[in-house]
Copies of this chain bind each other. A is one copy, B any other.
């Protein structure tokens, strides 16, 4: 590194022109050399950052320079969107039933992380069934929030799936939650209301 070889030792006389002295040629060559080296340093700097990006990305290592940047763009957009969704922690249940399951993929080790949101009428057997769904899908609960208000409930779950069945688990979870919500619709409304008012017994207890 920094091989500052003295360029003045490699001079040679100029016969074509009298205006270009040895020193001016010397300086020109030195300038060119500096330029060359500076450009090389610049390239190295850029590529170093590019490689750091590679290591940060989940899908990492050998990829096109352009497609690497493309995935970085996409990733940045995803993370920004996630930050918005998470900070607006709307834990209060809304009036309309809804299910949302979205992939988060926070972790770089490849394990898929989902955020699932469920909002519906409250009923006492909802939570056990939810737990069974998570268990049967081998989903690990990283974080769970529940809020009830006026007979309605909102659950927000952050779950981790095996890295092998990431997308599969996502769809399974989605359909399971959907059937859970439909089961709620199918159940007798008056029965659910009674269960909500007189909550001190029911099918929950073993």
A interface residues, Cβ below 8 angstroms from B: 42, 45-46, 49-50, 52-53, 56, 65-66, 69-70, 72-73, 75-77, 79-80, 82-84, 86-89, 91, 104, 106, 108, 113, 124-125, 127-129, 131-132, 134-136, 138, 140-149, 158, 199-206
Contacts and interface: CB of A to CB of B under 8 A. Distances in A.
Contact of A56 (B49, B76, B136, B202): B76
B200 A132 contact: yes
Q: 3 nearest interchain CB pairs?
A: A203-B206, A135-B199, A49-B69
A206 B128 contact: yes
B56 A42 contact: no
Contact of A143 (B69, B138, B142, B147): B147
A69 B56 contact: no
A186 B188 CA distance: 39
B49 A66 contact: yes
Nearest to A53: B73
